[in-house]
Amino acid sequence: MKKILAVLSFALPALLSAQTDVTVTIDPSQASQIVRIAVPFPDSVPKTAGATVAASEEIREPFFAPLTRDLAYSDAFAIAPLPPGIAPTIEVAKRAGAHYLLKINVFREGPDYLVDPELLDMTGASVLKPQRYRSPRAALTRTAHTIANNILRIVRGTPGIFMTRIAFASNRTGNWEIWLMDWDGANQTQITNHGVISILPSWAPDNERMVYTSWLKGTSDMWIINRRGGGRIRLHTGLNLNTSATFSPVNNDIAFVGSTNGNPDIYLINDAGGNIRRLTSTGSIESTPEWSPNGRQISFTSGRSGTPQIYVMDAEGTNVRRISFEGDWNDDATWSPDGERIAYTSRVRGRFQIRIHNTVTGETRIVAGEGSNEQPSWSPDGRWITFQSNRGGKWQIYRMRADGTDLLPLTSQGENKEPDWSKKLE
């Protein structure tokens, strides 16, 4: 048994240790207790005959790094640093202040990697249902996210966001196409190949389909596609524009912007392309609808006051009220999963910023920083916001906590924009 593997667990990026000293609440009886988890680098000795040892370094980036990153950013755990050069036993973990020890065994069988995780409390009892994960190398990261989700559910009783995905538009192929990535920016996958402009993806609540805008037929149309890039259908509206489409969280309606005679308004259509209903009917520009999480309200942007501002109406189009009063250009409103906060793009002294409006208190605060920052989208647990920024010169997608801290760029190839975080916790 190679004891030196324990040493490798100290090769965690420095940002993790800074990140993990967070006090979290487990349940009322354990309020403000930090749950420390020791995660030694996996053993790679096969427990079954016929399997071969996995070279340790080859699983660091695709498996170990995302696993520890997930746990460290979960707000439920702090990583307990283990001393180097010592076998990671319960005793060692206990001396390191850990409440749990995550022992993982990874080995090869043909092209597959077999992963056996074991979560032990400090009495040595296993708290995770014994389960073996088999995956090709390309799916090792998803295995790591799945294990992190399971640990979070067992220890904290809440689902994790580690298997959620972010849809976005990228021009790295030379055309704007729809892409997907994991919540940490890994596994960036192209799912359209139209060769025209395809933008503004928006997830259905089941995390299986999304609706987007494409000029595939020469005009802008709404298309529905599944997460693997198949099952594409075009929604015929008989209107112009047909953009900014977004699925209802509670039924099969899609809100979108349609236009007749140059008058863009908010409409509904069902996901089979039927039952079109018009919700707004002013002479001004209306755009960018977004559903409240309970599906009862729709926010949108309107130029009826002279500048683009954020409004909210009931889902039937009634009871319209304005909610943004600061800045001369506000757009891209999107609701937090608990419905209490609305993030939107707000121009402040010539630059766009992410502003968060509290629907209960009416207060707003700005959470983004340099450059222009647009198109916010909440993580399904409400702790994170992904958005696009040109602070580095080109449009790229970033992720930050809802309070603006822990900023991380998620993309770097070509230009990337319009992130939309999948809606369901998996």
Partner 1 sequence: MKNTMMKSFTVGLILIAMALIPACRSSRKAKPTTPTTTVTETVPDVSATAATETVVDTQTDFVREDPRPTTEELPTDLDALNRYVQERGHVRDAFFGYDESALSADAQAALTSSANWLRSNPQYNLLIEGHTDERGTEQYNLALGDRRANTARQFLTALGIDGNRLRTVSYGEERPFATGSNESAWSQNRRAHLVIVGTR
Interacting residues with partner 1 (CB under 8 A): 176, 197, 199-200, 213, 215, 218-220, 240-241, 243-244, 257, 259, 261-264, 285-288, 301, 303, 308, 329, 331-332, 345, 352, 374-375, 417-418
User: Min. distance of Cβ 380 from partner 1 in angstroms?
Assistant: 22
Q: What is the nearest approach in angstroms of partner 1 to the Cβ of residue 168?
A: 13
For partner 1, the closer CB: 149 or 330: 330
Q: What are phi and psi for residue 145, nearest 5 degrees?
A: -65, -40
Chain-centre distance for alpha carbon 417? 14
What is the DSSP pairing of strand 100-109 with strand 52-53? antiparallel
Q: For the purposes of burial, counting CB atoms within 10 Å of the CB of 50, is it exposed (0-12), middle (13-18) or buried (19 or more)? A: exposed
Q: Is the Cβ of residue 261 or residue 318 nearer to partner 1 in the bound state?
A: 261
Shortest Å, Cβ 303 to partner 1: 8
Q: How far is CA 418 from the centre of its chain?
A: 12
CB of 330 to partner 1, least distance (A): 8
Nearer to partner 1, 121 or 415 (CB): 415
Instruction: Closer to partner 1 by CB, 192 or 375: give it.
Output: 375
- Phi, psi for 181 (deg, rounded to 5): -145, 160
CA nearest to 149, candidates 60, 209, 76:
76
Nearer to partner 1, 160 or 371 (CB): 371
Give whichever of 140 and 257 is closer to partner 1, judged by the CB atom: 257
Q: Which value, to the nearest 10 degrees, does the dihedral of the CA atoms of residues 297, 301, 305, 308 take?
A: 160
> Could you count the other beta carbons within 10 Å of the beta carbon of residue 163?
19
* Distance between CA atoms of residues 387 and 95, nearest Å: 41
Q: For the CB of residue 89, give the shortest distance to partner 1 in the complex, in Å.
A: 55
Closest CB 199 distance from partner 1, rounded Å: 7
